[in-house]
Every structure is written in structure tokens, then in C-alpha cells.
Amino acid sequence: MTEAPFRPLDGVRVIDFTRLLAGPSATMTLAELGAEVVKVEQPGLGDETRHWGPPFVHGASAYFHAINRGKRSIALDLTDPDDRAVAHALIGTADIVVESFRPGVAERLGIGAAAMRERFPRLVYASISGFAQQGPLSAEPGTAVTVEAESGLMHVTGYEGGDPVRSGVAMVDIATGMSMINGVLAALLERERTGRGRTLEFSLFATALSSLGTVIAASSAGGPSSRPWGSAHPSIVPYRAFPVADGHVVLGATNDPMFARLVSALDLGAELGGERWARNQARVEGRTEVDGAIARRIADLPLDAVVERLRAARVLVARVRSPEEAAQGAQAQALGLIEHDDGVAIARSPLGTNGTARLARAPMLDADGPTLRAEVAGSDGDGRG
């Protein structure tokens, strides 16, 4: 029996005052779950990411299209009383409001959490910021690169002795958006019991610091001070990328029996067999010698040969691919994770494997403005429920 499309948020309306990456990626995921998302943008400019290119497609950057699909757009100048009244009317029709203004700006624009939830008690109101709404860094610009620096995440990224390196993708933004989704969905469940909404706050800094939980715990418990490990792992050896004749391979042994199988598969018994390296603690302490033996053994072998040997031995192994290769590869195709819109490859969220909605192209700026203004004209602003 074929299950119905997975649209648990049908009938839920989200008013989205966010921009850049964390908020827009999260609200797009809510749209994929069936919510109606209304993106409120600045007249004439819109979300800055519309202009983050080249490349540009369908009137905006490819970046913007990747994280704003399935939404409606209205352009409102929140400093204008008439446009602010439209914003209030839209909020009155919403279940969820999400904003990513600098701390204090939403209040100055008349759409702050306290005022909106006093007027609309059932509203779930979520804020996303760089460094949160309080604390000595709260007023500082909080983008992925500044947060990675201040949180310590950049300190453990890259290679020791090299310059600090930011993540290749702004994963702190993506993870903050995922945390926001968890929070607002839980708040909607709570509202079913209590009849009241909730104010929620999410920051990139909190996400980044919490992601370092194992590092912070280990160093506080007497372990070595944190440092960058490149592709390696501080507590497992081997577990990193190695060069081979025609590319790079990641391999690892997450337990001692797997290491024994790795040694056998690569014919390394003379160097790494026996009791000396049988336990992970010894391998961590002798990291340079163990990794060096593996590196020498596979440096001239073809990538396919290394992968085939280690997979046959049930050893952790993977090719290091480019994003383009992965998107075009068999695994992505099998899961239906890549869609094509007039030549542009669009990656679906992880929810896409569960029958969620396929989203329409990201909207042109103010594409739905006239319709939405007409919809709320004369609204009494009583809110939902």
C-alpha cells in the first residue's frame, strides 16, 4: 500500500522574516513538511542572498534558489506604518513567526516577540541570531565565520600549523535551522495541550559551542588541549584521509577487530600486525607510525583497488568525492535527493526520502505581495484560534 504524501504541517502558516541561510533553510524545510511559508522581504532589495552570485538563474542567485523554494514573497517596509499594519495582519493569520534581525531590531520595527505574543497568544515566535539576545557578544555581527572563530570551532578545523579554516559549508547555520525546526514543532505540540504559543531563541553560537561538546568534555577531563586534526580523529587511529595513486580515500578502524581486518586486507602484517598495535590506545599513542605505514602502503595503489579490498574486509572506507560527483552519483539518485529545475540541480532536505512535498521554484521578490495584501485587507487582527 502506498502511503500518502508526508505533509504533517498542512494548514500551518509561517511568516518568515529571516534572511541569509539559517532561517531560510529552516523555513524551507517547514514548507517541505507542508506548511505555507510567507517570506517577508525588504522592498527593492529583498533577501541579500538574492544577489550572492554569479551564477544567477531565474532572476536570482543559485544560492537563493537552493534555500527558498516553496515560499510566497511579499515586500514590506516595516518602518512604514501601512506596511507594518500589513505585517501585523499577516502575523495574525500565522501559527509560527521566525525572525533573524539583530537583537532589538524586531522590537524597534514593532514586530517583537513580546508585543506579538501579547496580541496573539497562540503564536509560536522563534528568533535566530548570531550570538543570542543577551551577553557581551550579542550586538556583534554573527555570521558563520565569526561564530566559528569565537566558539572555538575554527580552532579545531584544518591542519595544525596552518591558518585557521572555516567549514567548507556553513554547517553551523544549517544545524541552527534544524534546532529551530525541532523547537517550533515541539511548541506546536505543546500548544495543543495548553492553548498557548511560546517564544523561542536560537543562536549560531549556541549551536557551534554545543557541537564541540565531546572536545570540551575530553579536555576538561584531563585530555590533551584541543587542536586541529585535519581529517583525523583525536581518539581513533587510523581514521583519516590518505592519498592514493589517483585521488584520496578515507579509511578507519573504529574497533580492534576491524583494525586486524584492515591490516590483513592491506598486507601490513609485518609492520602493524601482532600485539603491539592490537589496541586502539596504543595506535593513538603511536599515531605517526601507524598512519605512516598505511600511507606508504597505499600511496601507489589505485583508488578503486583500495576501496574494493577494504570493503570486502568490512573495513570503514570511502572515496573522497566532489559535491558534483556525489550529486550525480548512484546513491543520490537512488534516494531521489537531487531535483533539476531548468538545468539547475537542487538538493532536497534529508526529509525528502520520506515522501515530503516537492517544492516549487523560489519566488521572485514580492511575487505574492498583491494577493497577500488583498487577503489581509480589513483583517481584524485577532489571530488564529
**Candidates 173, 246, 304, 366; catalytic one:** 173
Cβ(149)–Cβ(231) under 8 Å? no
Cβ(168)–Cβ(80) under 8 Å? no
173 assigned to active site: yes
Cβ(124)–Cβ(97) under 8 Å? yes
Long-range pairs of 359-362 with CB within 8 A, sequence gap ≥ 24: 359/28, 359/31, 359/32, 359/69, 359/70, 360/69, 360/70, 361/58, 361/65, 361/69, 362/58, 362/60, 362/64, 362/65, 362/68, 362/69, 362/71
> What residues are labeled active site?
173
